Amino acid sequence: MGAVMNRLWAYARLAWQMGAYGLLGAFWLVLLHAFYEHMAPRLGYLTAHRAIANDLPCGRPECDFSVYWPAGRLALEHAFVTLYSPQLFSQAASAMLLPGSQLETFFYPPTMLLPVALISRLPFEIGFFVWSLGLALAAVLLLRAGRLPWLVIVATLLSPAALLDLQLGQVNIAGDALFLAGLSLTAQRPWLGGSLTGLLACKPQIGLLAPVVFLAQRNWRQLGAFFLVVVLLCALVTLVFGFSVWGAYFTLGRSEEARMLSLPFHPLSNEGWGVSVFWMLRSMHASLHVAFILQASVSLCAAAICYWLWRYAGVGVAALIELTVFLSLLATPFGYCGEMVAYSAVLAAAAARRGWRIGMLDALLWLWPGICLFVSVQTGILVTPLVVLLAVARTWYRAGLPVPYFPGRVTVLPGS
């Protein structure tokens, strides 16, 4: 009887594993098809010199690129009051692109104006493809510099998070690759690793925990390179655009950031794609005051845990990088599923180390950036931080790190 039960259990485990592959493959094909349907029509726009149509689900041409491109044009004109004033920016951007577009406002730090001003010198539609392909190529080079295998890099570029990011015309595919490369090079090439992460001054929420890692390691060269690049970028912004851009950002831009965070949660808005604890709490009808306090508490805890891991945990670098990437998503109050490219990369790298053996949880974690909005719309609640916390717990357990009531469980091989 025992032999029969063991055989049935083995069959059940095999069926469960095959189901995980089937689920992953089926949903991934659906997401790839959706990506093709959104991107293919844009190829027909290449002969134009301005926006052609408003794309779904954004309601504006080429999604977030329709914010970057006009922002670059306004920056070149030194029209910083218009750039950081929501109503004025929307009017100016609509005049440059398509009237009636549901344009967002630009509230990025002035460092972001360096790349967007450069790409805005090209015609809009051509600029979108140069922008997208350039960022994808940069991501490939950076991930390879981080010593990720080619198959993992391909899986990362085709991940739901990367597909979403490319469809939106966002910068996260390269930004997350910068973060990963910086963490991977922390021991071998600290100057390069610090310099790469310093470039994240263009979008700071991606690399919030990078200085914590360098400080925990007492890696002063990497920390110095990080701050040097940040200072040089700020100086370059001032040299190119003048001091007035900083005044406009710290008054009008910061005010718009605060307004965006104070808006009620709505699953069909950008917050439905969110990853932050702040937006999860807002989706549960928490007040602004409570959401800010709890997000700040989680951010501080994430930083403290990250510091402890790199300073004292004594586990393999792969596990440290995984946990840092996951914790960085919990630390930021302002992030979207398109910023889960590094998350997808470390999940793929972990699967590769296991010989690509995956389970149902692997499939769920991997697919989450592509199904997050559907869950948010159906439930009215953003649960992405809980998914990320689940990823943290699994890596923590597999790394053999101490857990409550089991403080002695720290037996891990280097590089695990």
Q: What is the DSSP letter of 415?
A: T
Residue located via tokens 């700020």? 234
pLDDT tens figures, 336-390: 888 999 999 999 999 999 988 888 888 899 999 988 888 888 888 999 999 999 9
User: Is 337 part of any domain?
Assistant: yes
Coil, strand, or helix at residue 274?
strand
How many domains does the chain contain in total?
A: 1
User: Is the separation of the CB atoms in 414 and 316 below 8 Å?
Assistant: yes
Residue 6 lies in a domain: no
Instruction: Tell me whether residue 407 is in a domain.
Output: no
Measured distance CA(96)–CA(123) in Å, rounded: 11
| Bridge partners (DSSP) listed for residue 248 | none
- pLDDT value for 18: 66
Specify whether the CB–CB gap between 336 and 173 falls below 8 A: no
41: in domain = no
Average pLDDT value over all residues in the chain: 87
Based on the number of CB atoms within 10 Å of its own CB, is 113 exposed (0-12), middle (13-18) or buried (19 or more)? buried
In the structure, what pLDDT confidence band is assigned to residue 416 with cuts at 50, 70 and 90? very low
Nearest Cα to 400, choosing from 412, 415, 391?
412
Question: Tell me: the pLDDT tens digits for 41-90?
Answer: 888 888 877 788 887 767 778 888 999 999 999 999 999 999 999 889 98
- For the whole prediction, is pTM greater than 0.85? yes
pLDDT of 163 higher than 70? yes
For every residue of 388-401, DSSP letters joined together read HHHHHHHHHHHTT-
What is the pLDDT, as a whole number, of residue 13?
57
**Identity of the amino acid at 82:** T
The residue written with tokens 């930021």 in the block is: 332
Asked whether residue 347 is domain-assigned, the answer is yes
Q: For the residues 302-320, what does the mean pLDDT come to?
A: 92
Sequence letter at residue 108 = Y
Spatial contact of 186 and 223, defined as CB atoms under 8 Å apart: no
Whether pLDDT at 11 is above 80: no
Coil/strand/helix, residue 383:
coil
Q: What percent of the residues of the chain are helix, what percent strand, and what percent coil, each to the nearest 5?
A: 70, 0, 25
Task: Report if residue 287 sits inside a domain.
Answer: yes
Q: What domain range includes position 373?
A: 60-398
Specify the higher pLDDT residue, 29 or 324: 324
| Interval 199-214: pLDDT, tens | 999 998 888 999 999 9
pLDDT tens readout for residues 105-142: 888 999 999 999 999 999 998 999 999 999 999 999 99
In a domain, 292, yes or no: yes
Please give the distance of CA 55 from its chain centroid, rounded to a whole number.
Answer: 22
Which of 7-11, 168-172, 308-312, 351-355 shows the lowest per-residue confidence on average (mean pLDDT)?
7-11
